[in-house]
Amino acid sequence: MAWANELDSFAATTYRKNYPHVRLLEKPVEDLSVIHDGLQPVDIITAGFPCQPFSVAGSQKGFEDPRGKVFFEIVRLLKEFGPRRPKVVVLENVPGLLSHGKGATFSKMVNSLQSAGYWFMPPACHAILNTMKLTGIPQSRDRLFMIALSWDYFDEFAFEFPAPNGIEPLQVRDFLDLDARAEESLYFDPESRWGKLFEESMRDGNPEGVYQLRRYYVRENKSDAVFTLTANMGEGGHNVPTIKDDWGIRKLSPEECARLQGFEPDGFVFPAEISKTQRYRQVGNAVTVPLVRLLARECRRILN
C-alpha cells in the first residue's frame, strides 16, 4: 500500500496502529490533492463512500446529501492522476445504490467513471457479494462491489467476480470467546426490561442462536449467522449480535465482531485508547477481509 485517506480520527488511530508503514492522510477527501499532497501513482485504488444516502435504512437523499457527493471526489482524484491514473478502481457500497432514484443515481456514476477514462459498463462492472456464501463466515452481509478498468491499460472489461462455490458456513460460536466470562459491561441485567425480553425470546427460540435488540423488540436470526454488522452497533447497544453463554445473556464484543468480518486476532488489534463504541463502528464500516481478498486476487490476475 502506498497511501491511504481517512477523515475519522478514531479510525485513523486504529489504521496507524495496524499499518504503521502506510502513509495516511487524515483529512476530508475534498481536500485531498494528487499534486499538493504528492500522491504516488498506483495500479489499484480502492474506495468506499458513505452508504447512508443510498441505503434503504438511511436518508435516501442520494447526491443531495453532502456525503453522497464523496463519490465525485473519488472521480476527481482519478482524473488528477492524468495519464498515470490507476489501472483498476474498486468501489464498495450498499446494494440499494443500484435502484436509488429508479436507477438514475447509478447512471450518473457510470457516466462519471466513463468520462474519467474507465471501462464501467453494467451489469458486468458490478456484483452484489454475500459474505457467508463466498467465505463461509456466518454473517448475513450483502454488499455492492464495483470495478472500473482504465481504457489505457485494458482493451476490454476483463474482470470476473467470484461466484458462490458451495462452501459450508462455519458456526458463529467458532468465532466467539466462550471459555471464560466476558467483560461485565457486555452482559444484560437479567432483571432489566431488555434482559427479560431476551430471556423470553431465547426460551421460545434457539437458546444457542444469535439475537438482536431492535429499538422495541428482539429478533432471532434463524440461519445460524449474525445479522449484518453495521456502524451503529455501538449506539446504545442496539443491533449488536447477542448470545447466551454459561454466564448469562450478552452482546458480542467488538473483537468477536471483528472476527466475523474476517479480521484475524493475531493480525489486527484495536488501540487501547479506542472505546467500544468506536470499535463497533469501525467493524461495521469495514469490509469482510476474505471476501475482498478474492477481489484482490482477481485484480492481480488481470494486471499480470
Among 6, 16, 99, 10, CA closest to 54: 99
299 in catalytic set: no
**Phi then psi dihedrals of residue 187, to 5 deg:** -85, 145
Q: Point out the catalytic residue in the list 51, 125, 257, 299.
A: 51
Non-local CB neighbours of 134 within 8 Å, separated by 6+ positions? 162, 164, 165, 167, 290, 291, 294
Grid cell in block for residue 229: 454488522
Query: Cα(208)–Cα(187) distance, rounded to whole angstroms?
Result: 16
Query: Rounded to an integer, what distance in angstroms lies between the CA atom of residue 138 and that of residue 173?
Result: 10
Phi/psi at 148 (nearest 5 deg)? -125, 135
CA distance 209 to 241: 10
> Residue 62: phi, psi to the nearest 5?
60, -135
Please give the torsion angle defined by the CA atoms of residues 239, 240, 243 and 245, in that order, rounded to the nearest 10 degrees.
Answer: -160
Could you tell me if 88 and 145 are in contact, meaning their C-beta atoms sit under 8 angstroms apart? no
Give catalytic residues, as residue numbers: 51
